[in-house]
Amino acid sequence: MTEKIERKINQLKEKLNKWNNDYYVLNQPSVDDLEFDSTMKELIDLETQYPQFKTPDSPTQKVGGSVENIFTKHKHKYQMLSLANAFNFDDLEAFDTKIKKELEEKPYSYFVEPKIDGLSISLIYENGKLVKGVTRGDGIVGEDVTNNIFTIKSIPKTINNNDKYFEVRGEVYLSKKEFDKINAKKFENGEMLFANPRNAASGTLRQLDSEIVKKRNLDIWTYFLMNKEHIETHEESLKFLNDLGFQINPLSKHCQNINNVKEQIGYLNEIRDSLEYEIDGIVIKVNEFEYYDILGNTSKFPKWAIAYKFPAEIKETKLLDIFPTVGRTGRITYNAKLKPVKLAGSNVKAATLHNSYFIRDKDIRIGSTVKIKKAGDIIPEVLDSIKDTNYESLPIWTESNLCPSCQNKLERFEGEVDQYCVNIECPRKIIRSLEHFASRDAMNIEGLSIKIIEKLFANKYIVKISDIYKLTNFKNELIMLDKFGEKSVNNLLKSVERSKTNLFEKLIFGLGIRHIGKKTAYIIAKNFKNIDNIINANFEDLSKIRDVGPIVAKSIKDWFEIDQNINLINDLKSLNINMNFSGTDVIENNNITSKNFVITGTLSKPRNHFKDLLAKYGANISESVSKNTDYVLAGEEAGSKLEKAKKLNVKILSETELEKLIKEENND
């Protein structure tokens, strides 16, 4: 009998561990929360009844997880930029016009390639040997997936090139055939399927077990050479790479002008479905390398390239149900549950229906056929429903009156389309507002993702904002709860602690007051300087501030009139959260004000110190060096930005030179 119980417990553990891995590591949930929770409950019950089988590594002893720390981080030598998008030929024309203008009529041409729907990778060779494969990550720091990269047959492991450092970039992808094969196997095993080849490729490359990766037959198209010193055009660089053994996409083509580019786009669009791999657009690059520095980069994109995205696909499917969800402000969004349909490479089961007036005005009914598309290729949305013969017999939809989370009665403010849950204790609202508070533009608490918040909320470690700052009292309990143990708890607590000294305007934004976006939060912080001045301000004080106005003023007044909110502020005060505006009005300095700065390398103080200092004097700070850069502040081990600054003759400053420059002006 107990043997049977032990077997059952092991089965449940295995299931839950796998689901956790799917969720936290592969970023691909394989069951819904309900199934996860009920399986977890079953295991908890059995372990309580038979404690002899309860082990410290049981999923009941851990909460959540973190993708961090799984792969070693690698700082890219050269930032991995992304691409700006063009959605139609007008956007392409505008791109071409800008280039023409920047190049002042110098002759240029384009190189056109399919935009492979996979994930970008940087391959590093030293003295002809492959030494590293790194994912893009945030463009600055990626994940070291070298072991997995070594399993990809089409990546050369040695090359006939003796450069000490040689870097190539490309897109790792899964062919449609391999993708179908993997999913067929998953289906056989009763596992959740991958949504599209890109997710499958990404999930595979970020697998810890290289043996699994090997079986998955990932492939690569290489599309960029970083060591291009002796090469003049992109076309030549691809030829050079091809000769070294790298796979170059055969549909890549040199085009003399933007009209030829359009023709090639038309051709690729036509053959798109017949390709063995998914493409989501076309990449257009200026062919001549001599122009790359002139054209420069923004902080995210090179200005010498653009991605033409194919128009969004529209599909029809059956609307199975309409369900509301509640956001942090209490606003209700209606969502469609759909008969799964393949759309732009993924399997779509749900889409937004916006608000109840949208559904009412379009007379969308449950059971009808709806048209859906992906907005900006990310969130699917319902466009309309088809009024066919079956449609008439379907019941007209009516909006919900109760909050889907707390069942409180919903309200609609005068003149507004949306319904709101105004219950301050609504659990979903609290979870969403905690998420907002921790988000990057607010208190920037890394590691406090929505999933972690949900777990901490369910376990009652965080039920309101100020509890975040009390997590440190439960460190041991959290370590027991957290799948990744001490290290991730320590990291979380560190970022919680760090956030205490965050800028005051970020705190105001994080409070989630209606109508207070990032910019308004800054204006309020700057004008009132500290929290007490805001609390004590009357409606007139608030509304007379430029850019604030009566709606925002009322919203602030209303928020601070609620007792719980005042209690929150008092709690945060006693927890030493910064509530003072630290910025000052810009100090005019002819050497610094409005000048363009780039900061690079390791400095004696954190980079933010120098950013704040320069901001005080009204400098513009950007991430990448271009001909518009006035100064580069360079610390130790500065890499590509310093090199580029030298190439472009941009003035390079050390910390002391910067100090001198500031003082020189201030003393005048």
Minimum distance from CB of 216 to ligand IVH (Å)?
19
Is residue 465 within 8 A of residue 572, CB to CB? The reply is yes
Q: Which residue is nearest to ligand IVH (CB)?
A: 120
Conformational region of residue 306, where left means phi above 0, alpha means psi within -120 to 50, and beta covers everything else: beta
At position 434, the amino acid (one-letter code) is L
Interface with ligand IVH, residue 116, by CB under 6 A: yes
d(CA 149, CA 129): 13
Of the candidate spans 76-84, 319-327, 426-434, 500-508, the one that interacts with ligand IVH by CB under 6 A turns out to be 76-84
337 classed as catalytic: no
**Can you read off the two tokens belonging to residue 173?**
């992808």
Site for ligand IVH, residues 402 to 461, rule: CB under 6 A: none
Interface with ligand IVH, residue 95, by CB under 6 A: no
- Burial (CB count within 10 angstroms: exposed 0-12, middle 13-18, buried 19+), residue 142: buried
Of the candidate spans 39-47, 115-123, 187-195, 585-593, the one that interacts with ligand IVH by CB under 6 A turns out to be 115-123
Of the candidate spans 113-121, 185-193, 485-493, 606-614, the one that interacts with ligand IVH by CB under 6 A turns out to be 113-121
Q: Beta strands of 300-438 (E only): which ranges?
A: 305-309, 314-326, 332-343, 346-352, 369-375, 379-385, 410-411, 420-421
Query: Which residue among 115, 285, 309, 374 is the active-site one?
Result: 115
**Can you read off the two tokens belonging to residue 520?**
């308004």
Contact letters (x/-) for ligand IVH, 220-249, by CB under 6 A? ---xx-------------------------
Contact letters (x/-) for ligand IVH, 310-349, by CB under 6 A? ----------------------------------------
| Interface residue with ligand IVH, options 200, 265, 305, 456 (CB under 6 A) | 305
Give the H/E segment covering residue 311. none
Minimum distance from CB of 263 to ligand IVH (Å)?
18
Minimum distance from CB of 83 to ligand IVH (Å)?
4
At position 25, the amino acid (one-letter code) is V
Minimum distance from CB of 650 to ligand IVH (Å)?
21
Residue 55 or 82 with smaller CB distance to ligand IVH: 82
Minimum distance from CB of 136 to ligand IVH (Å)?
6
Residue 75 or 409 with smaller CB distance to ligand IVH: 75
The count of C-alpha atoms lying within 13 angstroms of the C-alpha of 101, restricted to the half-sphere facing its C-beta, is 7
Site for ligand IVH, residues 164 to 223, rule: CB under 6 A: 171, 223
Interface with ligand IVH, residue 302, by CB under 6 A: yes
Give the H/E segment covering residue 417. none
Residue 244 C-alpha from the chain's centroid: 34
d(CA 652, CA 658): 9
Of the candidate spans 112-120, 351-359, 369-377, 653-661, the one that interacts with ligand IVH by CB under 6 A turns out to be 112-120
**Beta-carbon count within 10 A of 625 CB:** 24
Minimum distance from CB of 71 to ligand IVH (Å)?
18
Interface with ligand IVH, residue 307, by CB under 6 A: yes
Is residue 346 within 8 A of residue 361, CB to CB? The reply is no
Minimum distance from CB of 234 to ligand IVH (Å)?
10
φ and ψ at residue 451, rounded to 5 degrees: -65, -40
Residue 83 or 130 with smaller CB distance to ligand IVH: 83
Interface with ligand IVH, residue 81, by CB under 6 A: yes
Interface with ligand IVH, residue 112, by CB under 6 A: no
Q: SS3 for 321?
A: strand
d(CA 90, CA 546): 37
CA dihedral 283, 288, 289, 295 (to 10 degrees): -70
Interface with ligand IVH, residue 83, by CB under 6 A: yes
| DSSP code per residue over 132-196 | EEEE-TTSSEEEB-HHHHTT-TTS-SB-S---SSEEEEEEEE--HHHHHHHHHHHHHTTPPPPSS
Interface with ligand IVH, residue 542, by CB under 6 A: no
Is residue 83 within 8 A of residue 479, CB to CB? The reply is no
d(CA 161, CA 224): 16
| Interface residue with ligand IVH, options 225, 238, 241, 283 (CB under 6 A) | 283
Residue 427 C-alpha from the chain's centroid: 25
Interface with ligand IVH, residue 286, by CB under 6 A: no
Of the candidate spans 19-27, 302-310, 371-379, 605-613, the one that interacts with ligand IVH by CB under 6 A turns out to be 302-310
Interface with ligand IVH, residue 113, by CB under 6 A: yes
Give the H/E segment covering residue 237. helix 234-244
Minimum distance from CB of 281 to ligand IVH (Å)?
8
Residues acting as catalytic residues: 115
Site of interaction with ligand IVH (CB under 6 A) = 81-83, 113, 115-116, 120, 171, 223-224, 283, 302, 305, 307
